[in-house]
Structure 1
Amino acid sequence: MTFSGLAQPIQRGQKVLLKGAVREMQSRDPISAVHVSTDDGAYTITDDNGEFEIEAGIGDVLTFESRDIQTVRHTVLNDEDILVLVKDYEPSTSRYKKSTSSSRQQHRIYLDSASFYQKKDIKKSIDFVAKSIEGLGKRGYKKELGESLTLLGEIYQYYGQYDLAIANYKDALEARKSTKTALLLGKVYVLNKEYEEAEKTLEPLTQIKALVPFQKIELYETLGDAYKGLGDTEKAVAYYEQGLLVANKNQVSPKLPDLNSKIADAYARDNRLQEAEAFYGSSLNQAGRQAPQRAVQEKEKVADFYNRTNQYQNEIELRKESLDELKSIAAPVAKTEGDVISRDTITPQRINYKIANAYIAQDKYDEAIPYLEESIREADNEDDLIVQKDATRKLSEVYRQKGDFTKSLETYQKYVAVVDTLYIRKEQEISRAARFNREIASQQSRITGLEQERELSQSKYDLALTEQQLIQESNKRQRWVIYSLIFGMALTALAAFFYYRSDRQRKLTNNLLALKSLRSQMNPHFIFNALNSVNNYIAKNDERSANRYLSEFSTLMRAVLENSEEDFIPLSKELELLRLYLRLEHSRFPDKFDYQLNIDETLDIDSYEIPPMLLQPYLENAIWHGLRYKEEKGLLSVDLQKKNQDFLEITITDNGIGRKRSAALKTQNQKKQKSKGMGNIKKRIAILNEMYKDKVAVVIRDLNGDSTGTRVILTLKKD
C-alpha cells in the first residue's frame, strides 16, 4: 500500500478536513467499506467510489482497516488530498459482486453501523450487532457470526466490561478461528489481569508466519504485557524488543514510543533504574515527533517515574513543559490502557497538583501553595471534584505544617464541603452505573437469546431432515432418534448454562454496586460533632487540643475515604482506626467512660481481614446509647481472641444502661438514625456473606439479667 499527496506543512495540532480515496494500484478501481479513523476518535468509511472525508489534526495518525487489505497507518503532515493505493487487491468475500446474497449485504451494513456507534452510543452499537446476528437467519453463517461476536467483544472491551468481552471473543472463536479475535482475546485477558490465560492464548500465535507486521507488533507487545504482569521482566523485555525490531523495520512509528516506554516500565518495576531512564529518554524523543497529545502522555509517564525515584526537580521541569503544551491542545489528553480510555485524563489541574506534591516532598511549602491554589481553581472550573478534593486537603495540610492553623481550618472546612458534594455525586454515579449495567445485561440477554433461537432452529431442521431419512431407512431410525435427543439435551443444557452465567454476572454486579454504596456511608452526626468539638477548643483558646483533635480527626477521615473502595482490609489496620475513633470519642466524653482494647497475645492479627469500619457503628451505639446516659463512669471493652483454628471472636462489651432503657430515652429522630445505621451494617454483612461464603456473623445480647449492659459478639472467618 502506498500514499501520495503534496506536502504543504501547517502548524502542528491544527484541525483540517482531509479528503481522499482508496483504490487498487493497477486498475485504479475504488475500494469501498474501508474503515478510516484517527487516534483522536474521528471515524468514517469509504463510499462506493472509494472516497472519504475526515477531520484530523496535523500530526494525527490515520488508520485504514478492512478485512480485505492490510491495516496501515499514516501520519498527517498537511491538508492535501490523500490517495491510498492497494497492491494486488482481492476481496475475501463476494459482498461486492452482484451475486452476493441480500442477508450478507445487510449483515455488513449492520456491522458497519455498529462500528460507527461503538465509541459514541453503546446501546445503539449493541443493537446493530444484535440485528446483524438476527439477520443471519435460522441456518446462519459461521464466518459472519464470528465477525458479529468479535465486534461485540470489542464494544464491551472499549467500555471496560472485560468479562463480557472475554465471553464473546470465546464464542466468536468457537464459531470461526481468527487471528484477529485471538489477539483481541489476549489483550482483554491482560486488561482483566488474567496473565496466564493471556499467555496460553497468545503463545501459539507466535508460530504463525502469515501475520502482517502490525499484528506481529501487537502480538509481541501484548505478550510483553502478560509477562510483565506475571513478574517475568526478562521475557517481557525480550518480547517488547522483538516488537521494536518489527516496528523499526516496517516504519510503524506510532508504536516506537509505546514499546520504548513499556520496556522502561518493566525495568523500573524491577528497580533497574539506569536502564529504565535510558528507555524513557528514547520514548520521549520518539513521542516528540508525533502528535502533541502523545508527547504530553509520555512526558507525564516519565514525570511519574521521576517522582517514584525522588528526582523531584526533573519531575517538576517535565510537568511544567506539559502544562505549556496543554495550552495549545483544545481538549484534555486521555491516558490509554490497552484499547480502553481511562477516566484519569491528563489535565492542568492534575499536573498542577502533582507539581505541588513534588515541592511538598522537598518541604518547599511556599512554592507548593500557588500550584495547589491553581489546581483547585482549575478543578472548580472544570467540575473535577476528585482533584479539587485532593488539592484542598493537601493545601490544608500545608497550612498546618506552616503553623497557619486558621487557614488550615478554613481550607479543611472547604475540603469537607467538597467531600459532601462528592458523596452525592458518587451516589448518582452508582445509580447510573446500575441502570447502565441493567441495560447492558438486557442487550446481552437478547443476543444470547438470538443465539439460542438459532441453535434451537438448527436442531429443529436436523430433526425434520432425520424424519425424512427415517421413512427411507427404517433400520437406522432408532440410532438417529437417540442422537437427536442427545443433541437437544445438549442444547438445553447450553441454554441453561448461558442463562445461569448471565444471571450470576448480573447478581454479582448488583451486589458490588450495593456494597460500594453502603461501604461509603458513615454517620454524619459523628463528623459534625467532631467539628463542633474543634470549635469548642478554639473558643476556649485551647489551640493545642484543637490542633491535636483536628489532626487525629483528619487522619481518621482520610483512612475512611481510602478504605471505602475495599471489601476487606487487614485487621491490624481496622484496629488502628478503632483506637483513633475511641480516642476521639473519649476526648469528648472523658467523664462518661473509659475504654480498653484486649488482644490475645497468641493471636496473629495480620492473618485476618475484616470489612472496613464494620465495628465502628457498634462502638458508637455503645457510647452514645449506653454509656452516655449512665450516671456513673462506665467501661467499654473490646476483646479479640481466637475461637478455633479458622475463626476469630471479637467481643464489644459495655456496662451502660442497656438496650431497653436506651430505646425508651431516644427521640424519634435518634430511632430513625439508629435503624438506618444498623440496617446498613446488616445489609453489608448479608452481601459479604453471600459473596464470600459466610465470613462474618454477629450476635447482640444483654450483658446482665436486669437488661443493663450490652455485649456484641462478632465472629470472623479466617480467609
Structure 2
Amino acid sequence: MKKISLMMICLWLLPALVLGQEDTRSRTTSKSMSIKGSVKEQSTRKGIKDVEVTILGKGTVKTDVFGDFRIEAKVGDELVISHDDFATVRYTIKDGQRIDIEVKDNPIQSKSKSISKQKREVTYRDNLNAAKKELKKDASTSIGYITNALETIRDDDPAGASKKAELFETLADIYNFWKQPDLAESNYLISLKNKYNTDVKIKLASAQLESKNYQAALNTFKELLKSRLSSNQKILVYEGIGDSYVGLQNTIEAITSYNKALALSQRKKNDTKVIGLNSKLAGLLQQQGNIIDAEEYLDNSVQLAQQKDKKTSARQRSVAADFYNKSSSYDKEIQLRKEALEDIKDIKVVKDSVQPLDDDNALTPQVQNYKIANAFAAQEKYDEAITYLDESIKEAASKNDLIVQKDATRKLGEVYREKGELEKASDAFKEYEVIIDKLYVQKDQQISQAARFSRELAQRANRITTLEKDRELNETRYKLAFASQELVNQQSLRQQIIIYFLIGLTVLLLLAAYLMYRNMKQQRYANNLLALKSLRSQMNPHFIFNALNSVNTFIATSDERTANRYLTDFSILMRSVLENSEEDFIPLEKEIELLQVYVQLEHFRFQDKFDYTIDVDPEINIDQYMIPPMLLQPYVENAVWHGLRYKTEKGMLSIKFQEINSDSIEITIVDDGIGRKKSKELKTSNQKRQKSKGMGNIKKRIAILNKMYKDKVDVLVSDPENNAEGTQVKLILKKEI
C-alpha cells in the first residue's frame, strides 16, 4: 500500500518537475545570465573590496565590502579581474555556476600594509600611555585617548583580544578613580571577557565593593581563591572577603578573613597592609565590645605607622583617635590628635601646600582642631574647646572648607551657650546661618558639576560601545541590503510556484524518510535481539562442551573422586549459566561469582600449570554495573587453554576490576602464557581450519550490544606492556545512562 501511495505522489509531481527542468534549460541556453562570484585573499580567505570585474565591450562592476559581485554574461565570455593589490586574473565563463576566485597578495601592497600595521601599533601604544598619564588629571581626555587607541585595532589583528583587554582595564581604572564604580565594574568584565587576568578580577571585586554590591564582591573574591595567587594577591583577596562580610554585617567571618590577610602581610613584611588590617580588626572588636583586644590591635598599628612616613603616621593616629572617641577616652584622643597635627604640619612644609595632603579629608588641620575641640567640650573644658574651635574656623576659612567651618561655628555657638556667654553664642549662630547659605550655593554648584561630569562620562562610554558594535551593524546592514535585493529579483509567479512545490515535496520526502527510518530502526532492533538470542544459544553448548572435556579427562585418568568433585562444582556453575542464558545483562557481582567458580574449576584441573588472582577495587560499587553474561569466561578460557597450559613452568593468571571514573570501570585479564603468536604456531592443522566459536561469538555479541546500548563495552586484546610473554585483555564497562 505504501509503495502504491509513493508512486501516485511521483506521478502527480512529474509534470511540475518536467516544467522546472525545461525552465532551467531555457535559462541556461539563453544569451545572457546573471553570474555571481567573489574575490578573496588566498592566505586569509577575506573578501577584497572594490575589485574591478570586467567583460570587454560589455561593462564593469566592482566587488562590495564582502568581495562579492554580480555581472550579466554568457557562456564563453572572459572576465578580467583587476585590483592594485594583486596581479590581473582572467577567467572564461563555462556555465552559470558561482565563480569564487582566490588571489595572492601583491608584494608591494603587502609591504605597504605592513608599514600601516606598524603605524597603527605605535598609535595604539601612544594613546594608551597618554590615557594612563591623564587618568588622574582629566577623565574626559583620558577616555578620549582610549577611544583613539580602540580605533586602531583591526579584526585580523592577532593581538586584538589582548589589546582590548588592556584598554578596557585602563578605562575601568579611569572610572574607578573618578568614583564611578558601576561603569568600572562593567568595563572590568569586558576586559576579562577578552583575556583573563587575576589582577583585573581583583579590581572587579573591589569595584563591586565600591558599588555596595557586597554579595557579588564576596562571590568574586571566593572564585579568586580557586586560582593560583601570589602572596600579595592573597592578601588583597582575604582583605576583600573581610570587607564584603563587613558589608553583609557578618562580623565573625570578617574577623577570620582579616586575620588571614594580616598573617600573610606580617609574613611578607607588608607594613602598609599590616597597619590597615590592624585598624579594621580593632574597629570590629570594638563593635563586639572587646575593647582590650581592640586597643592592642590599634596600638600595634600606631606604633608601626610611627616608623613610616609622616602621612602614614598622621592617618593612623587620626584613626586611633576616632576609636578612643567612641570609647569616651577623650584624653587619649586629644593626645593622638595633637600628635597628628604635628605630623600634618611637617607634611605641609615638605609639600609646600602645592597638592592636597590626602584623599582623606579628615587629614587636615581644620578637621583635627575641630575634633580636639569636641573632645574638650565633652569634658566640659570650654575654654580649651573655644581655642581649638577658633583655630579650626580660621584654617577652614583659609582653605574654603565650608563644611568644617559650618560645623565648627555651630559647635562654637553651643559651647558659648553652655558657658553662659549668650551674646557670643548668638553671634556664632548668626555666622553659622551665613555659612549655611554659602554652603548651599556651593553644594548646588557641585551637584551641577557632578551631573555634567556623569553625562560626559556616559557619552564617552556610549561612544566606545558604539565603536565596538559598528562593524557588526555595518555587516548586518550590508547583508540585509543584498538579501532584500535578492528577494526583489525573485518576485515572479513561476518561482513562487516552484518554491512552494519544492517545500511540499521536501515535506513529503522527509515524512517518507522518517517512516522508513523508523521502520528500519525497529527491524534492526528485532534483528539484533534475534542475533543475540542465537549467539547465546551457541555460547552455552560451547561452554558445556569444553567443561565436559575436562570431566572426561578426569574419568580417563581413573580419578573418579576428582571427577565427582569437578562435576559438583560444574553443576553449580551450569545452573547459574542456564538461569542467565536469556538475559542481555546481569549484575556485575553475579558475573564475578560465576567467574570465580569457573577459574576455580580450571585451576582444579591445571593446578600444576598456573595460579590465579581475582582483585576487585573496593571503590567500585558493583551494584551499579551490569554486564553481558559469560562475557569474561571465554577470555579466561583462552588464557588457560591456549596460553598457560603449554608453559613448562608454573604461570600466573591475573584478573583485576579497577575504577576509571564514576561512570566506568576497567577489567584486565592478564596471563604470562606462551602468547598469541606461539599459540598459533602450536595449533594443529585441524585447529587452524576451525575458528574459535567462543571468541567469535563474544565479538559479535559485543558489537550488537554496543549498537543497541550506545558503546557500553569496549575490548582491547594486546601483548603485555612490558614486552613479556603472555596476553593482556582490557575491557571498559560503562554504567547505564
Using the size of structure 1 for normalisation, the TM-score is: 0.48
Look at both structures and tell me which one has the larger radius of gyration over its CA atoms: 2
Structure possessing the higher relative contact order (Cα contacts under 8 Å, 6 or more residues apart):
1
Q: Which has the higher helix share?
A: 2
**TM-score (norm: length of structure 2):** 0.47
